[in-house]
Amino acid sequence: MTVFVIRRLMQAFLVVFLMSVIVFFGVNIVGDPIYMLVSPDADQADIEAAIRRLGLDRPIWEQYFLFLKGAVQGNLGDSFVFGQPALKLILHHMPATLELAFSALFLAIVFGIPLGLFSGLYPDNPVSKGIMAGSILGFSLPTFWVGLMLILLFAVELGWLPSTGRGDTASVFGIQTSLATWDGIRHIFLPALNLSLLKISLAIRLTRAGVREAMGQDYVKYARAKGVSTKRIIFVHVMKNIMIPVVTVMGLEFGSLIGFSVVTETIFAWPGMGKLLIDAILQLDRPVVVAYLMIMVLFFVLINLMVDILYSILDPRVRLQDQGA
C-alpha cells in the first residue's frame, strides 16, 4: 500500500510537470496580454516598461525556466491584474468552489442513489419510467440553460431563493463555509442543484444498472434460497456490490464537478475559482490561468489516488500492490 502510494505520487509529479509545459506554452500562444493591461493612451515607452516589468521581453523558454524555478518554491507567479501571487488568489477562492462541489456531490448521492435503486428494483413501474426520463433530461439539457431556468423559476417567479452570490459564512473547524449559516445554505442551494443535475442523472443510471445486474446474479438467488429477507438482500448483498462502481465513478466525477463549476459559478456569480478563471482568461492574466490549471491537474491526480484507495477498501478482491505501474 505504501509502495503503491509512493509510486503513484511520483507518477503524479511527472504528470504535473508535463502539464506545466503544455499549459505554460499553450497559454503563451493565445493573445498578448500587454494591451489589456496598459491604458489605451499609453505610449510606446510605457508599454515597453510594462513588458519588462512582467518579464515578457525574455525568450519563452527562459520565462518557463523562471516559472519552474518559482513553482518549486511554491510561487506560481504574480497575477498581472491584481499584482498578488496567483496561488494566493486561487487558494482564496478555493473554499467557495469546494463547498459548491461537495454540496453538488451530496445532492447527487442523496437523490441519485435512492432513485436509481427504486428504478432498478421496479423497472416496469411508471414512477421508474418517470425517473429515467428525468435522468435523460438531466444528461441532455445544457447546464447554463438549466441554471437560467432555475433562477427564473425560484428567484424571479417564486422569489424563494436568492440567485446570485455567496451568502453569509461561518467558521467550522477553522474553515469559512456558507453551509454553516441559513443564509449561506439559501444561497448555495440553486447553484449546487444546477451543478449536480448531471451527476444526479449519472448516479441514477449507475445505481439502476448495478441493481439490475446484481439482482440477476446467482448470489442473489442463493441468498433467497437461504431464506434471507428481501431487505437484507437489497441493502447488504446488492448495495455492497454496486457501491463499488458507484463510489468509484462518483469519486472520479468530483474533479469534473470542480471543472464544471466554471459555468455554474459564472451564472450564479459564485465567487469561486471558476469565476476567477473566467475573469483571468478574459483579461489574459496568464499566471492565474496557469496556476489554476496546475492546481486542477493536482486535484485530478489526488482524486484518482483517493478513489483507488477507496476502491481497494470496498472491493476485497482488489489489492493495490497487485496493480502494475
Partner 1 sequence: MTAVLEVSGLKTHFFTHAGVVKAVDGVDFTVNKGEVMGLVGESGSGKSITGFSILGLIDQPGRIVEGAIRFIGEDIAKAPEDKLKSIRGNRISMIFQDPMMTLNPVLRIDTQMMEAILAHEPVPRKEAWERCRDALGLVGIPSPEERLRAYPHQLSGGMRQRVSIATAFLNKPDLIIADEPTTALDVTIQAQIIFEAQKLTRQTGTAMIWITHDLAVVAGLADRISVMYAGRIVEQGLTDDVIDRPLHPYTVGLLGSVPTANNRGERLFQIEGMTPNMLALPEGCAFSPRCGSASGACRTPPPIEHVADRELRCYHPRSQAAAQ
Nearer to partner 1, 103 or 119 (CB): 119
CB-CB contact of 24 with 67 (8 Å): yes
Nearer to partner 1, 171 or 317 (CB): 317
- Kindly state the smallest distance separating residue 217's Cβ from partner 1, in Å: 7
Helices of type H across 82-181:
86-121, 126-140, 143-150
- Kindly state the smallest distance separating residue 234's Cβ from partner 1, in Å: 13
Distance CA 145, CA 271 (A): 20
Residue from the set 316, 322, 324, 325 that interacts with partner 1 by CB under 8 A: 316
Nearer to partner 1, 12 or 310 (CB): 310
Residues in binding contact with partner 1, number by CB under 8 A? 22
Write the interaction track for partner 1 spanning residues 239-278; mark x where CB under 8 A is met and - where it is not.
Answer: -xx--x----------------------------------
Nearer to partner 1, 123 or 251 (CB): 123
The sign one gets for the Cα dihedral 128, 133, 137, 139 is: positive
- Kindly state the smallest distance separating residue 222's Cβ from partner 1, in Å: 4
Write the interaction track for partner 1 spanning residues 206-245; mark x where CB under 8 A is met and - where it is not.
Answer: -----------xxx-xxxxxxxxx--x---xx--xx--x-
Phi, psi of 172 (to 5 degrees): -125, 120
CB-CB contact of 251 with 307 (8 Å): yes
Nearer to partner 1, 100 or 214 (CB): 214
Decide if residue 322 touches partner 1 (CB under 8 A).
Answer: no
- Kindly state the smallest distance separating residue 236's Cβ from partner 1, in Å: 7
* Contacts with 57 (C-beta within 8 Å, 6 or more apart), sequence order: 48, 51
The sign one gets for the Cα dihedral 136, 193, 103, 126 is: negative
Decide if residue 317 touches partner 1 (CB under 8 A).
Answer: yes
Write the interaction track for partner 1 spanning residues 160-199; mark x where CB under 8 A is met and - where it is not.
Answer: ----------------------------------------
- Kindly state the smallest distance separating residue 303's Cβ from partner 1, in Å: 23
* Contacts with 207 (C-beta within 8 Å, 6 or more apart), sequence order: 112, 113, 115, 116, 117, 120, 242, 246
Distances (CA, A) of 160 to 102, 153, 179, 243, 270: 23, 9, 18, 35, 18
Distance CA 221, CA 225 (A): 6
Nearer to partner 1, 154 or 311 (CB): 311
- Nearest to 292, CA basis, from 30, 79, 73, 55: 79
CB-CB contact of 47 with 21 (8 Å): no
Nearer to partner 1, 159 or 316 (CB): 316
- Kindly state the smallest distance separating residue 105's Cβ from partner 1, in Å: 23
Applying CB under 8 A, the residues found at the interface with partner 1 are 217-219, 221-229, 232, 236-237, 240-241, 244, 314-317
